[in-house]
């Protein structure tokens, strides 16, 4: 981590740390949007708890 701070600079590292919550939030919103606008069952079949609910739904 210290090498990264020396390479980029402490100013830009602090700016990047300030943006992390925003990036995580928008990434979550984007992921939910992809699941919503695509075939949600195809994606949710990989979630173990939800996978069992749709076995007889063919």
Number of domains the chain contains: 1
| Residue 24 clears pLDDT 50, i.e. is over it | yes
Which DSSP state fits 54?
A: G
Print the domain residue range for 35: 2-54
Tens of pLDDT, residue by residue over 7-21, are 888 888 889 899 999
- Closest to 46 in 3D by CA, of 25, 31, 24: 31
Tens of pLDDT, residue by residue over 27-54, are 999 988 988 888 777 777 777 765 566 6
Confidence (pTM): 0.56
């Amino acid at each position: 981590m210290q090498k990264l701070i020396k390479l980029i600079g402490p100013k830009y590292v602090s700016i990047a740390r300030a943006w992390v919550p925003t990036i995580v939030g928008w990434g979550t919103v984007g992921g939910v949007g992809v699941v919503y606008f695509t075939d949600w069952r195809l994606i949710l079949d990989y979630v173990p708890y939800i996978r069992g609910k749709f076995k007889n739904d063919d």
